Amino acid sequence: MTKKLYIQTLGCAMNERDSEHIIAELAQKERYDLTDDPKQADLILINTCSVREKPERKLFSEIGQFALHKKQGAKIGVCGCTASHLGGEIIKKSPHVDFVLGARNTSKITQVLHTPKAVEVDIDYDDSTYVFASPQTMGIKALLNISIGCDKKCSYCIVPFTRGKEISIPQDLLLNEARKLAAKGVKELLLLGQNVNNYGVRFSVPHEKVDFATLLHNLSEIDGIERLRFTSPHPLHMNDEFLAEFARNPKICKSIHIPLQSGSSKILKAMKRGYTKEWYLERVAKLREFCAREGREDVGISTDIIVGFPGESDADFEDTLDVARQVRFDTMYSFIYSPRPHTSAYNTESSLLVDSEVAKERLATLQNLHREILAQKSQDEIGRVVEVLVENHHKQERWSEGRSDHNRLIKIGNFVGDIGEIVRVKITNAQGGSLSGEVIAYA
Ligand code: SAH
Ligand code: SF4
Ligand code: F3S
């Protein structure tokens, strides 16, 4: 008899990928089917994020809610980054929890399931060569982890303490997995890692020397894989070889996430990011120059920004606005600094802390600026012809939707065909940040 699994996933794409692995392992080895109703579930999993304080604070009230409404005998497990961070404390604080599985220990899911009160949170554990069960159903897009952990120690960030040191997954395993995915109909791969362009820095098995540009090139040679995306590269490792491969390889989508964090060189230094405002702007200029040489003026750039980092003055924040104006990001994820345990910025002296009202105002200013820039950029898109992978198709209502390779979501009015097709679309309309257009050619 099959059992039911309910899984709630918070956090980044790496957690999403870990959830996919857990679902596939439990389906294949323990006969669990997914349900979206926690009341029906035999197993409730919360896959958590620790990157900011708020979601972490909510964990215990969520466990309480699940415990109140769950089926009798149903188990509750806590996985992911908060599991790594709080470990056994979770079970001490909440007796409803049956096991705790750290973000670095995902491959042990079937073990902890059968070990009452198990706590598996070793951040030195290495499952970089573990081959997870395959998911039963597959769409046209898939996630693929290329490395685990992170060697950087950005002074605000808890991730190195929840996911451990950086290890790259052997290239052969990645190429095999990508071939399997292509055979199942996957057209677009999103490569995942905290520092994807540091790929090859260290393997846990003997391995030839290989860098990220080479990996991208080799993946792009696989028949059936039409598009490659990746997240996140680090500005420090954006060398010319990588930028050249990015610009010239037609299978690499012309959109890139380049986390800025701050536009002030002083704050970047305090954050231990390893680059300056000038370095960041120069790398972006080089990227655009390389892409323009290949006829691609429209490369999409997204970013992450933290406001209110300790010591951030009005002038520092002005530098962040200045970079936002110069780069004109297509997508911006912006956050107020949240102090995290273990990190080197955690115990900053109170005189450096930014008043929370000031931080909120800065966030609003930055987000307003971004909205204005995006609306202008969207107007510039009108008339452009872009390649779109159709992801949604509503025949009756006569509209479809997909992402352009420069990562804009585009509504299409006249598409006739099937999900998964790549078509050429002329952009005809822009409203705020939304774009729509018409198919002008099928593949
Ligand atoms: N490896 C990625 C980041 C992963 S964390 C990189 O280097 O860009 C995702 C984002 O969360 C970060 O880019 C940062 O903007 C944000 N973040 C991390 N720690 C934070 C903190 N303590 N407070 C607020 N935002 C934070
Ligand atoms: Fe965190 Fe920095 Fe590593 Fe990104 S590079 S995961 S921000 S420590
Ligand atoms: Fe991702 Fe959150 Fe962990 S951002 S790496 S799930 S702390």
**What is the domain-level CATH number for residue 388?**
2.40.50.140
Residues 154 and 78 in one domain: no
Q: What is the pLDDT of residue 433?
A: 82
- CB under 8 Å to 314, separation ≥6 — which residues? none
| Strand 385-394, strand 399-404: pairing | antiparallel
Mean pLDDT, to the nearest integer, of 254-280? 98
Q: Atom of ligand 3 at shortest distance to CA of 14?
A: 1
What is the domain-level CATH number for residue 76?
Answer: 3.40.50.12160
- Cβ atoms < 10 Å from Cβ of 342: 12
Q: What is the pLDDT of residue 135?
A: 86
Within-domain flag for 78: yes
- Cβ–ligand 1 distance for 306 under 6 Å, the answer yes
Within-domain flag for 130: no
Within-domain flag for 133: no
Residues 186 and 253 in one domain: yes
Task: Answer whether 48's CB lies under 8 Å from 59's CB.
Answer: yes
Q: How far is the CA of 272 from the centre of ligand 1 (A)?
A: 13
The whole-angstrom separation of Cα 104 and Cα 147 is: 11
Query: Which residues are annotated binding-site positions?
Result: 12, 49, 81, 150, 154, 157
Residues 87 and 181 in one domain: no
Within-domain flag for 135: no
Q: Atom of ligand 3 at shortest distance to CA of 194?
A: 5
- Cβ–ligand 1 distance for 110 under 6 Å, the answer no
pLDDT class for 254, splitting at 50, 70, 90? very high
Ligand 1 pocket test: pick from 335, 336, 360 the residue with the most ligand atoms within 8 Å of its Cβ.
335
Q: What is the pTM of this model?
A: 0.96
- CB under 8 Å to 170, separation ≥6 — which residues? 128, 129, 203, 205, 207
Within-domain flag for 412: yes
pLDDT, tens digit, for every residue of 157-188?
999 999 999 999 999 999 999 999 999 999 99
The whole-angstrom separation of Cα 138 and Cα 194 is: 24
What residue numbers bound the domain in which 429 lies? 382-439
- CB under 8 Å to 118, separation ≥6 — which residues? 99, 100, 101, 111, 112
| Ligand (nearest to CA of 152) | 2
What does the DSSP 8-state code read for residue 294?
T
Residues 322 and 351 in one domain: yes
- Cβ–ligand 1 distance for 340 under 6 Å, the answer yes
- Cβ atoms < 10 Å from Cβ of 62: 18
Within-domain flag for 128: no
User: Total domain count for the chain?
Assistant: 3
- Cβ–ligand 1 distance for 259 under 6 Å, the answer yes
Q: Atom of ligand 2 at shortest distance to CA of 234?
A: 5
Residues 406 and 353 in one domain: no
How remote is the C-alpha of 108 from its chain's centroid? 23
- Cβ–ligand 1 distance for 51 under 6 Å, the answer yes
pLDDT, tens digit, for every residue of 111-140?
999 999 999 999 999 999 999 999 888 899
The whole-angstrom separation of Cα 261 and Cα 272 is: 11
